[in-house]
Structure 1
Amino acid sequence: MSSPWIEGLRSVALHVPDLAKAEDFYTRTWRLEVAARTEDALYLRGTGTDGYLLALHQGGEQPQIRQVTLRARSHEALAQVQQRALAAGATLIAAPHALTHDPAGGTGMTFRDPHGRVFQVVHGDARHEPAAPMPDRPIRLTHVVLNTHAVDQTQAFLEQALGFRLADRTAIMAFMNCDRDHHTIALGISDNDALNHIAFLMPDFESVMRGGGRMKDAGFAIQWGPGRHGPGNNLFNYFIDPFGVVIEYTAEVEQIDDSYVSHGPEHWKWPSGRVDQWGISAPPGATLKEAQRRILFAPS
Structure 2
Amino acid sequence: MSSPWIQGLRSVALEVPDLAQAEAFYTGTWRLEVAHRGDSVLYLRGTGGDGHLLALHQGTEVPRIRQVTLRARSREALDAVAARVVAAGGTLLAPPHELTRDPAGGVGLKFRDPHGRIFQVVHGDSRQPEGPAVKDRPIRLTHVVLNSHAVDETQVFLQQALGFRLVDRTGIMAFMNCDRDHHTIAIGISDNDALNHIAFLMPDFESVMRGGGRMKDAGFPIQWGPGRHGPGNNLFNYFIDPFGVVIEYTAEVEQIDDGYEAHGPEHWKWPPGRVDQWGISAAPGAALKDAQRRIFFATNP
TM-score interval (norm. to shorter): over 0.9
Quote the Cα distance in structure 1 between the aligned partners of 2:135 and 2:187: 30
Between the aligned partners of 2:26 and 2:67, the Cα distance in structure 1 is 19
Q: Which residue of 1 aligns with 2:216?
A: 216
**How far did residue 131 of structure 1 move?**
1.3
Alignment correspondent of 2:226: 226
What residue number does 2:116 align with?
Answer: 116
Give secondary structure in 1 for the equivalent of 2:62. Answer: coil
CA distance in 1, matches of 2:26, 2:132: 21
1:296: which partner in 2?
296
2:38 & 2:81 partners in 1: Cα distance? 30
Give distance in 1, aligned partners of 2:131 and 2:288.
33
Q: CA RMSD in A?
A: 0.3
Helix, strand or coil at the partner of 2:207: helix
Q: Report how many residues are paired.
A: 300
2:286 paired with 1:286: yes
CA distance in 2, matches of 1:218, 1:2: 40
- 1:39 is displaced (CA, Å) by 2.2
Give unmatched runs, 5+ long, in structure 2.
none
Q: Partner residue of 1:262?
A: 262
Cross-structure match for 1:56: 56
TM-score between both structures, scaled by the size of structure 1: 1.00
CA deviation after TM superposition for structure 1 residue 129, in Å = 1.0
Name the structure 1 match of 2:15.
Answer: 15
Residue segments in structure 1 that go unaligned for 5+ positions in a row? none
Percentage of pairs with the same residue? 81
Residues 160-185 of structure 1: CA distance to partner in whole angstroms, max 9, x if unpaired?
A: 00000001000000000000000000
Mapped partners of 1:259, 1:147: distance in 2 = 27
Query: CA–CA distance in 2 between the matches of 1:131 and 1:42?
Result: 23
The CA distance in 2 between the partners of 1:292 and 1:238, in whole Å, is 11
Q: Partner amino acid for 1:185?
A: I
Q: Structure 2 matches for 1:46-125, cutoff 5 A? A: 46-125=46-125
Alpha-carbon distance in 2 for matches of 1:291, 1:13:
17
Q: What is the match of residue 235 of structure 1?
A: 235
User: 1:197-244: CA deviations, max 9, x gaps?
Assistant: 000000000000000000000000100000000000000000000000
- Deviations for 1:67-96, whole angstroms, at most 9, x for unmatched residues? 000000000000000000000001111000
d(CA) in 2 for partners of 1:73 and 1:42? 26
Q: Which runs of 4+ in 1 moved over 4 A?
A: none
Distance 2:241 2:131 in 1: 27
Question: What is the one-letter code of the residue matched to 1:47?
Answer: T
- TM-score, L = length of structure 2: 0.99
Q: Work out the CA distance in 2 between the residues paired with 1:129 and 1:167.
A: 32
